[in-house]
Chain A
Amino acid sequence: MSTIDKKQAEEFIESVITQYEEKTYKDRKTHIEVVEPGQEKCAVKSNRKSRPGVITMRGCAYAGAKGVVWGPIKDIINVSHGPVGCGQYSWSSRRNYYNGTTGVDSFGTMQFTSDFQEKDIVFGGDAMLRELLREANQLFPLNRGLSVLSECPIGLIGDDIEAVSREISKEIGKPVIPCRCEGFRGVSQSLGHHIANDTIRDWIYEKDLEGQKFEKGPYDVALIGDYNIGGDIWSSRKILEDMGLNLVAQSTGDSTFSELANVAQAKVVLIHCYRSMNYISRYIEEKYNVPWLEFNFFGPTQIIKSMRKIAEMFDDKIKEKTEKVIAEKYQPYFDKIVSKFKPRLEGKKAMLFVGGLRPRHTMPAFHDLGVEIMLTGYEFAHGDDYQRTLEYVNETTIIVDDMSEFEMDNFLEKYKPDLFGSGIKEKYQTQKSGIPFRQMHSWDYSGPYHGVEGFAVFARDMDMAINGSVWKNIKAPWKA
Chain B
Amino acid sequence: MSKDIKIKDHITLFNDERFSEMFDRKRELYENAATKEEVAKTLEWTLGEEYKDLNFKREHLVINPLKSCQPLGALYAAIGIDDTMPYVHGSQGCAAYFRSHFCRHFKEPFPAVSDSMTEDAAVFGGHNNMYVGLDNVYKLYKPGMVAICTSCMSEVIGDDLNNFVKNAKEQGKIPADFPTAYAHTPSFVGSHINGYDNMMLSLVSQIGEKTGEVKDRINVILGFDTYIGNFREIKRILGLFGVDYILISDPSYNLDSPTDGHYKMFNGGTKLEDLKDAPNSKATLLLQKYSTAKTREYMEKEWGHPVKVVNPFGIKGSDDLMMAIAELTGKEIPTEIENERGRFIDAIGDSYFWVHGKSFSLNADPDYAIGLTRFVMELGGDIKHVLLTNGSKDWEAEIKGILAEYPQGKDAEVYANKDMWHFRSLLATDPSDFIIGNTFAKYLMRDTGIPLIRIGFPLFDRQFLHRYPTIGYMGGLNLLNWIVNTILDETDRKTMYTTSYDVIR
Q: Across the interface, which residues of A come within 8 angstroms of B424, CB to CB?
A: 103
User: Which of A287-295, A306-314, A349-357, A426-434 participates in binding chain B?
Assistant: A426-434
CA distance A55 to B96 in the complex (A): 9
Is B69 a contact of A84 with CB atoms below 8 Å? yes
| Interface 1/0 per residue, A216-244 and B, CB below 8 Å | 00000000000000110011011001000
CA distance A431 to B106 in the complex (A): 14
Does B503 interact with chain A (Cβ within 8 Å)? no
A-B pairs with CB below 8 Å: how many? 329
Cα–Cα, bound, A152→B93 (Å) = 10
- Which of A83, A113, A116, A409 neighbours the largest number of chain B CB atoms within 10 Å of its CB? A83
A456 and B58 in contact, given A82-B152, A184-B122 (Cβ under 8 angstroms): no
Q: What residues of chain A lie closer than 8 Å to B65, measured between beta carbons?
A: 84, 88, 111, 113, 115
- Given the known inter-chain contacts A52-B133, A231-B13, A457-B9, please indicate yes or no for A212 contacting B108, CB distance below 8 A: no
Q: Which of B122, B130, B259 has the most CB of A within 10 A?
A: B259
Distance in angstroms from A187 CB to nearest chain B CB is 7
The CA of A474 and the CA of B51, in the complex, are separated in Å by 55
A281 interfacial by beta-carbon distance below 8 Å = no
Say whether A144 faces chain B, with CB atoms less than 8 Å apart. Answer: yes
A49-B116, A84-B67, A115-B65 known; A425-B96 Cβ under 8 A: yes
A475 within 8 A of B: yes
CB contact under 8 A between A99 and B152, given known A19-B140, A184-B117: no
A83-B188 contact, Cβ under 8 Å, with A105-B34, A112-B63: yes
Interface check B248, CB cutoff 8 A: no
Q: Is B137 an interface residue (CB 8 A)?
A: yes
Q: How many residues of A contact B (CB 8 A)?
A: 122
Q: Which one, B87, B98, B152, contacts A89 given CB within 8 A?
A: B98
| From B60, B100, B132, residue with most partner A Cβ within 10 Å | B60
- A46 interfacial contact with B, CB 8 Å: no
User: Is B55 among interface residues, defined by CB-CB distance under 8 A?
Assistant: yes
| A139 and B51 alpha carbons, distance in the complex (Å) | 8
Instruction: Please give, as numbers and ranges, the residues of chain A lying within 8 Å of B19 by CB-CB distance.
Output: 234, 238
Partner of B261, one of A60, A153, A434, A448: A434
Q: Which residues of A contact B39 (CB under 8 A)?
A: 101, 104-105, 142
Measured CB to CB, the closest approach of chain A to B256, in angstroms, equals 11
* Least distance between B79 CB and chain A CB atoms (Å): 13
Q: In the complex, what residues of B have CB within 8 A of residue A116's CB?
A: 187-188
Q: Bits for A469-480, please: 1 = Cβ < 8 Å to B, else 0.
A: 000001110000
Q: Give chain A interface residues in 98-151, CB to chain B under 8 Å.
A: 99-105, 109-118, 120-121, 128-129, 131-132, 135-136, 138-139, 141-142, 144, 151
A429 touches B109 (CB 8 A): yes
Alpha-carbon distance between A230 and B43 when the two chains are bound, in angstroms? 26
B393-416 interface code vs A (CB 8 A; 1 in, 0 out) = 000000000000000000000000
By the criterion CB–CB under 8 Å, are A256 and B7 in contact?
no
Cβ-based interface call for B107 (8 A):
yes
A211 to B135, CA, bound (A): 53
Give the docked Cα–Cα distance between A113 and B483 (Å).
32
Tell me whether B31 and A256 are in contact (CB under 8 A). yes
B34-83 contacts to A (CB < 8 Å): 34, 38-39, 42-43, 46, 51, 54-55, 58-65, 67-69, 71-72
Is the C-beta of A35 less than 8 angstroms from some C-beta in chain B? no
A-contact bits for B256-276, CB 8 A (1 contact / 0 none) = 011111111000000000000
Proximity string of chain A (65-100) to chain B, C-beta cutoff 8 Å, 1 when within and 0 when not: 000000000010001001111101111110001011
**Residues of B contacting A434 in the complex (Cβ-Cβ under 8 angstroms):** 259-262
Q: Say yes or no: B32 contacts A212, CB within 8 Å.
A: yes
- A84-B67, A142-B42 in contact; A211/B59 too (CB < 8 A)? no
* A 224-282 contacts with B by CB, 8 A: 230-231, 234-235, 237-238, 241, 247-250, 256-259, 262
Known: A75-B31, A456-B5. A84 touches B191 (CB 8 A): yes
Listed stretches A20-28, A164-172, A319-327, A384-392; interface member: A20-28
Is residue B493 within 8 Å, beta carbon to beta carbon, of the partner chain? no
Whole-angstrom distance from the CB of A430 to the nearest CB of chain B? 8
Q: Is the CB of A56 within 8 A of B92?
A: yes
Given A183-B93, A184-B117, A184-B121, do A118 and B46 touch, yes or no (CB 8 Å)? no
CA–CA, A164 and B231, complex, Å: 49
| Given known contacts A231-B14, A238-B22, A89 and B101 CB-to-CB distance under 8 angstroms | yes
Q: How close is B490's CB to chain A, nearest CB, in angstroms?
A: 23
- Whether the Cβ atoms of A248 and B135 lie closer than 8 Å is no
Instruction: Give the complex CA separation of A141 and B139 in angstroms.
Output: 55
The yes or no answer to A453 lying at the interface (CB within 8 A) is yes
- B464 at interface (Cβ–Cβ under 8 A)? no
Shortest CB distance B456–A (Å): 14
Asked if B30 and A433 sit within 8 Å, CB to CB, the answer is no
| Nearest 5 Cβ contacts at the A-B interface | A60-B93, A85-B69, A53-B136, A53-B133, A52-B133
Instruction: List 18 A-B pairs, Cβ < 8 Å.
Output: A21-B139, A52-B129, A56-B114, A58-B93, A99-B23, A102-B446, A110-B63, A113-B63, A144-B32, A156-B157, A184-B121, A237-B22, A409-B263, A432-B263, A433-B261, A434-B261, A474-B260, A475-B260
Question: Given A53-B135, A85-B72, A113-B65, 11 more contacts at CB 8 Å?
Answer: A20-B140, A53-B134, A59-B96, A85-B71, A85-B94, A99-B27, A114-B61, A115-B65, A183-B153, A212-B29, A453-B13
B residues neighboring A (CB under 8 Å): 4-5, 7-10, 13-14, 18-19, 22-23, 26-27, 29-34, 38-39, 42-43, 46, 51, 54-55, 58-65, 67-69, 71-72, 87, 90-94, 96-101, 103-104, 107-119, 121-122, 129-130, 132-137, 139-141, 151-153, 156-157, 186-189, 191, 257-264, 421, 424, 440, 443, 446-447
